[in-house]
Amino acid sequence: MPKRTRLEQQLLEKAARFLPGASTGNTSYPDGLKFLVREGRGSHIWDVSGNEYVDWLMGSGPLILGHAHPAVTEAVIKAVEQGSTFFATNEKAVLLAETLSQAMPFAQKVRFTTSGTDACFQAMRAARAYRHRDKVLKFEGAFHGTSDYALMSVTPPAGEEFPQARPSSGGIPAAIQDLMLIAPFNDLDTTAAIIEAHHNELAAVIVEPLQRVLAPQPGFLQGLRQLTARYDIPLIFDEVVTGFRLAYGGAQEFYGVTPDLCSVGKIMGGGYPLAAVMGRSDIMSAYDQSQAASEDYINQIGTLNGNPIACAAGLATLAELRKPGVYQRLRETGGKVRQALSDTCARHGIAVQSCGEDAIFDIFFTSQPVASYRDGLAADGRMLGRLNSGLLAQGILKAWPQKFYPSLVHTQEDVAKTVAAFEQVVPTLRS
């Protein structure tokens, strides 16, 4: 168990005193394993007590180049020296918009925001303005940020009948339930029936093309594309996680399916607060007061939209990702860890399902295939918690409760240390 200095203990006490749940809202660890991050470099982080961790969380995905990457740091320092923000269109925002559109050619227009939550929210709003309809279909268990719409049916009970929505947070107006329809991921027949029954009411369908760590089954995204195109319903890809991770062109390049709108964040901002909604000109014209009818115009103002420092970090990050061989390296690193975890569990007689892609993955403790949110409910979540806690005690940090985020700076030594931790922790999971 990592030791805690008096300073870190005092800071943990202050966190409990001043922060709800002693957390900034993103992570919360069990008693005895709570820690505060002091710094990160490359693929490692250090807590305030000086304990070192191999970091597979990587800021929940954006740090595909690692902590404090020299190219990103240099770009940010230079940008800071030129001014922190302007509340006016700036050079770096224009250059990054061009770069994003080149990476995902369907995206004719780009509107910046500061978070993935807002980018997904804006995509749904733009679709509503385009379709003059109110309802949006999303998939059970999908996470599109923390707007009222997105937090419908993120963690519902298994017995809820489709397409009924259920709030997964306090404070959501009851009326929102009537504006969201819910379908099961990877079930094209049920999804088709819902879309066909409600197509005159639907403004959009929003989907994580890789839902959390659940990869789309062959034909699912293609069928969804065909269904939405048939009724001229905008298809929104939430690529906040998958954008620039599965491929430079995101999940749409990786799976070969093109949406009408998409949200991007995390990697494209280089670890800084930046996201964007992108899409077809005819839909995105709602953001242009000179092009949109007055009732359709979307007034989207944000003090830090297109922030030049964040855009500089994004430009530097994407330049690194255009170098030859980077995605092959990323998948090779992730593939080694993914296979090792499955193999270790198999040797100890523990049934698991390895889900996701090599660039983002995790396991479910179950003998049955996991293709949807409800499949995952049958897995042993307490065993996953013990795995995560055991790895953290061994100095291995991953997303809590689920996801490994490989990066381009994870080394063979990092992989070996992680695999050794699997060997230590997995045999203890049944106890």
Enumerate domains of the chain plus CATH numbers.
6-68+324-428 (3.90.1150.10), 70-321 (3.40.640.10)
Q: Dihedrals φ, ψ of 167, to 5°?
A: -65, 140
* Sign of the alpha-carbon torsion through 390, 395, 400, 401: negative
Contact 149, 180 (CB under 8 A): yes
Tell me 205's DSSP state.
E
The two beta strands, 44-47 and 37-41, are: antiparallel
Which amino acid does the sequence have at 323? Answer: K
When pLDDT is averaged across residues 185-210 and rounded to a whole number, the result is: 98
Q: Distance between CA atoms of 245 and 239, rounded to whole angstroms?
A: 9
Q: 292: pLDDT confidence band, cut at 50, 70 and 90?
A: confident
DSSP code for 299? -
Distance CA 24, CA 284 (A): 33
pLDDT value at 1 more than 80: no
The rounded distance, in Å, linking the Cα atoms of 210 and 206 is 12
How do residues 10-44 score in pLDDT, each as one tens digit? 999 999 999 999 999 998 888 889 999 999 999 99
Please provide the DSSP assignment of 178-203 as one string: GGEEEE-TT-HHHHHHHHHHHTTTEE
Q: Give pLDDT tens digits for 170-188.
A: 999 999 999 999 999 999 9
Residue 28: predicted pLDDT: 83
Mean of pLDDT values over 122-140: 98
8 Å CB contact between 125 and 118: no
For residues 280-295, average pLDDT: 91
pLDDT over 80 (residue 58): yes
Q: How far is CA 16 from CA 13, 21, 38, in A?
A: 5, 6, 17
The pairing of beta strand 360-364 with beta strand 353-357: antiparallel
pLDDT attached to residue 337: 98
Q: Are 307 and 299 in contact (CB under 8 A)?
A: no
User: What does each C-alpha distance from 109 to 96, 98, 207, 284, 373 come to in angstroms?
Assistant: 12, 9, 20, 6, 33
204-212 mean pLDDT: 98
Give the per-residue pLDDT at 159: 85
* Terminal-to-terminal C-alpha distance of the chain: 18
Q: What is the pLDDT of residues 358-391, one digit of tens each?
A: 999 999 999 999 999 999 999 999 999 999 999 9
Q: So what's the pLDDT on residue 428?
A: 95
Phi-psi region of 192 (alpha: psi -120 to 50; beta: other; left: phi over 0): alpha
SS3 sequence of 349-404: CCCCEEEEECCEEEEECCCCCCCCHHHHHCCCHHHHHHHHHHHHHCCEECCCCCCE
Contact (Cβ atoms closer than 8 angstroms) between residue 380 and residue 365? yes
Summarize pLDDT for 305-352 with one digit per residue, the tens: 999 999 999 999 999 999 999 999 999 999 999 999 999 999 999 999
pTM of structure: 0.97
Token pair of 346 as six digits: 């198999």
Q: Give the chain's mean pLDDT.
A: 96
**Using an 8 Å Cβ cutoff, are 147 and 120 in contact?**
yes
Average pLDDT over residues 283-299: 91
Q: Is residue 294 pLDDT above 90, yes or no? A: no
